[in-house]
Amino acid sequence: MVLGGFLDKLKRGLSKTRRVLSTPVGELFRRARQVDAAFLEELEEILIGADVGVETTMSIAEDLRRAARDTGTADPEELYGILKRDVESRLRKGESDVTLADSSPTVILVAGVNGTGKTTSIAKLAAYYMGQGKKVLLSASDTFRAAATEQLGIWADRIGADIVRHKMGSDPAAVAFDACEAAAARGVDILIVDTAGRLHTDSNLMRELSKIKSVVARKIPGAPHEVLLVLDATAGQNAISQARNFKQAIEITGIFLAKLDGTAKGGIVVAICDKLGIPVKFVGLGEGADDIEPFDAELFSRALFE
């Protein structure tokens, strides 16, 4: 992909983010005379309506109350600045770069419940790194459903990435094992491993994830360098409980927040960063391979409030 095209797409992605993220908070501050109890109540309503979540909303409002008390001001403009900085620092908790291996390949394990956007997000990640001139290999380790391997295969063809696949029902860790060997043999920079989002039981699923993880760790030093959990932004607060479940079974190093377009509400990003203690690394903004954007706390807080 030529650089100009890449920048254009990034810009288009950003304008989408802005549309989703924008809240009436700026408007509220602009028309207010002073920040009082009624104002704070309205602010809380907006934040909860934007999927920030009750706890995080209360904590943000409490910070604002305290700031008003400490500074002795009820001036909306001043307190608006304080609110923006407060939310930005909450988002910063969630900001960190993707860990790439010192010597290739970097292995990125991708987990998540079915339907959250896992396979699509993998295709986006692959296209993103291929756009940076990296050699990418996909491991079709969701062998639970035939359609899953097929779908990843279609994406691989579409974006021109290599893929390692076995037939349906085979051992997902064995696919990952072969993919690691292929990655080393072919000089691959980034190996991305798809996993099942549902098995017969949750405990099977979590055991399988751990098994894939340990196979990959044995084959490639330091791997997996990232374990990304794909969450569906339109799932709202449910996304947070999903993340908590996965976190119990496997160490998640980052979140890929998919579907932050359409019906998603931007406040979910604040809730995720604030409550999970897992950095958001990428967001998905549509169904195309280019609809991906690295997470940027400053940009997001601006998009939320300005």
Ligand X SMILES: Nc1nc2c(ncn2[C@@H]2O[C@H](COP(=O)(O)OP(=O)(O)O)[C@@H](O)[C@H]2O)c(=O)[nH]1
Between 189 and 293, CB nearer to ligand X: 293
Q: What is the DSSP string of 127-177?
A: HHHHHTT--EEEEEE--SSHHHHHHHHHHHHHHT-EEE---TTS-HHHHHH
127 lines the binding site for ligand X (CB under 6 A) = no
165 lines the binding site for ligand X (CB under 6 A) = no
- Tell me the closest approach of the beta carbon of residue 205 to ligand X, in angstroms: 13
User: How many residues touch ligand X (CB under 6 A)?
Assistant: 18
237-276 residues in contact with ligand X (CB under 6 A) are 258-259, 261-262
Q: Are 260 and 233 in contact (CB under 8 A)?
A: yes
Token pair of 36 as six digits: 């009082």
The whole-angstrom separation of Cα 169 and Cα 144 is 6
Kindly state the DSSP code that residue 97 receives in the 8-state scheme.
P
Give the burial string for 45-84 (b: 16+ CB within 10 Å, else e): ebbeebbbbeebbebbbebbeebbeeeeeeebeebbebbb
290 lines the binding site for ligand X (CB under 6 A) = no
How many other CB atoms sit within 10 Å of the CB of residue 222?
Answer: 12
The whole-angstrom separation of Cα 284 and Cα 301 is 17
285 lines the binding site for ligand X (CB under 6 A) = yes
Residue of 284, 297, 303, 305 that binds ligand X (CB under 6 A) = 284
1-60 residues in contact with ligand X (CB under 6 A) are none
The whole-angstrom separation of Cα 110 and Cα 116 is 12
Positions that interact with Mg ion (CB under 5 A): 118-119, 148
Residue of 86, 162, 287, 296 that binds ligand X (CB under 6 A) = 287
Mask 167-206, x = binds ligand X (CB under 6 A)? ------------------------------x---------
Mask 205-244, x = binds ligand X (CB under 6 A)? ----------------------------------------
Between 110 and 304, CB nearer to ligand X: 110
The whole-angstrom separation of Cα 152 and Cα 104 is 23
Residue of 23, 57, 119, 143 that binds ligand X (CB under 6 A) = 119
Rule CB under 6 A: which residues touch ligand X?
112, 114-120, 197, 258-259, 261-262, 284-287, 291
